[in-house]
Amino acid sequence: MDDDELITAAARGDDRALRELFNRHSPWMAGRLRRSLPPDAVEDVLQETFLAVWRGSSTYTPSSRAGAWLWGIARRQAAMWARTHRDEVELVEASKGSEGDLSASAANKLHIQAAMEALGPESGEQRKLFEMLFIEERPVAEIAARLGIPQGAVKSRAYRIRQTLQAVLREGGY
């Protein structure tokens, strides 16, 4: 069976199909997730990913892009894990570089933090839109529906957010 058929079978409750999807896709997903997550988190994120696949398989539309659909779910799960374990993610990032890289990394984090602060408070609309669009990578149509605004408004607000971030980062020498 191809991936589309496996996802369709999983939607009907076939746990063997889900297991086959896991066997096919978890190795490459784990490799990509290891780039930004601690090793013990990768297994947790994969487990949450395939639980989300199981729950969301009925909404999947066969398109021969099953790998992209699965990776999108994995990235969202990784982002959720990272939000609740920020200190661990920072340690992984810090351990990947040398001492010189650490000072550059700290400076980069300060510039990024300043750029994010320019978007307003964490609970503000710009921050929420930024997270949904650029971190969770949700589709514009979904964001528009969640916020109760037209898709064009989401796009124009996203453009303004990018402009704000670019301006602040340029001031910092980036």
The pLDDT, as a whole number, for residue 89 is 54
In a shared domain, residues 80 and 102: no
Domain residue limits at 108: 98-171
Question: How far apart, in whole angstroms, are the C-alpha atoms of residue 31 and residue 65?
Answer: 19
What pLDDT sits at residue 108?
59
Q: What is the pLDDT of residue 87?
A: 57
pLDDT value of position 90: 54
Choose the final residue of a domain: 84, 107, 133: 84
| Positions in the chain short of pLDDT 50 | 91, 98-100, 102-103
In whole angstroms, what is the distance from residue 26 CA to residue 16 CA?
15
- Both 146 and 108 in a single domain? yes
**Cα dihedral value 146, 137, 79, 144, nearest 10:** -10
Do 69 and 140 reside in the same domain of the chain?
no
- What mean pLDDT is reported for the chain? 81
CA distance 80 to 87: 14
Contact status, residue 28 vs residue 13, Cβ threshold 8 Å: no
